Amino acid sequence: MEVLGIDIGGTGIKGAIVNVETGNLVTDRHRIPTPRPATPDAVADVVNELVKHFNWSGPIGCTLPARVEHGLVRTATNIHDDWVNTRVDVLMSERTGCPVHILNDADAAGIASVVFGAGRGRTDLVFFITVGTGIGSAIFINQTLVPNTELGHLTLHGASAELYASNRTREEENLTWQEWAGRFQEYLDHVEFLFAPDAIILGGGVSRPKKAAEYLPYLNTQAELIVAELENEAGIIGAAWAASTA
C-alpha cells in the first residue's frame, strides 16, 4: 500500500509517496519553503501544491508541530497562533480533496523509528526525543504510542527546557557541541528522573551522523541511548504509516 506522507516544518514542508509495508520512499522527496506567515490557510495551500506535484488522489498522512487531538489543534508554541482550535484534518481534506490524517510531528517520527528504524522490535519503554528548532517527544510502551506528549516543555532552570537545550538555542548562542551537550545532559537527567525509560532514541537534526559524533561522547544515560536511523525522512514515513492504520 502506498500513502503520501507530508512533514510540515518551520522552514520547509516536504513530502513523498511511501510504501507503508516497507517504510521506503517510492518517490524522491519534494520540498516547498514554509510560507510566511505560516497561517493554516497558507500552509494548506502548500500541502495542496505537494498533492498536485505527486498527482495524488489517495490517503495522506501529515505532521504538524503542535498537539493534535482527534484532528483539533491545541497548541501553537512553534507555529502561528491561528492554528489553535483549527480542525486541521477538515481543513486539509477540504483543500486537497483527499482523506488526511494529522498527527504531531514528533509522534510521527517516533512511529517511523519503532516500526522501521532504531526502535524496531522493542517492547519496552522507549522515549523518542527530537532535537531541532524545539524539543519534541514520543513515548512508546510495547510499541504502542502515548500520543501528544510535550516533554520539550518540561521546566528546566525556570523555563521551558527547549529554550535551554534545543539545537536552535545552540546555534543562536553559538555554543560548542560540548557546551550544548552539557545542557542536553541536564535535560536527559530530568527526563530519566521523572520517567525511567529503558531506551532513548535521539532524532531530529542532531541525529545526522556527523553531528552525533560531536556530542555523543559527552552524554551519559542510564537508559540505552540510540541515534535514530531515518533522519529527515522519519516524519514523512511515520505520517504515512499512521494514515494507513487510522
Angle, nearest 10°, between helix axes 234-245 and 105-116?
A: 90
Position 79 scores a pLDDT of 81
Question: Grid coordinates representing 139?
Answer: 513515548
Query: Rounded to two decimals, what is the model's pTM?
Result: 0.94
Query: Residue 238 in contact with residue 53, Cβ under 8 Å?
Result: no
Confidence band (pLDDT; 50, 70, 90) for 201?
A: very high
Report DSSP letters for 52-88, one per residue: HHTT--S-EEEEESS-EETTEE---SSS-GGGTT-BH
Q: Tens of pLDDT along 175-196?
A: 999 999 999 999 999 999 999 9
Q: Under a CB-based contact definition with an 8 Å cutoff, are residues 138 and 128 in contact?
A: yes
Q: Give the model confidence (pLDDT) of 134-143 as tens digits.
A: 999 999 999 9
- The answer on pLDDT for 76 being more than 90 is no
**Domains of the chain (ranges plus CATH)?**
2-107+234-245 (3.30.420.40), 121-229 (3.30.420.40)
Only one residue has cell 483539533, namely: 72
Instruction: For the chain, give the mean pLDDT.
Output: 95
Judged by average pLDDT, the poorest of 76-90, 105-119, 146-160 is: 76-90
Q: What's the rounded mean pLDDT across residues 82-90?
A: 95
Confidence of residue 10 (pLDDT cuts 50, 70, 90): confident
237: helix, strand or coil: helix
Phi first, then psi: what are they for 175, rounded to 5°? -80, 145
Residues making up the chain, counted from first to last: 246
Q: Per the structure block, which three cell numbers stand in for 232?
A: 529527515
* pLDDT tens sequence across 15-45: 999 999 999 999 999 999 999 999 999 999 9
C-alpha cell at 141: 510502551
- Local structure of 22: helix, strand or coil: coil
Helix (H) or strand (E) holding 197: none
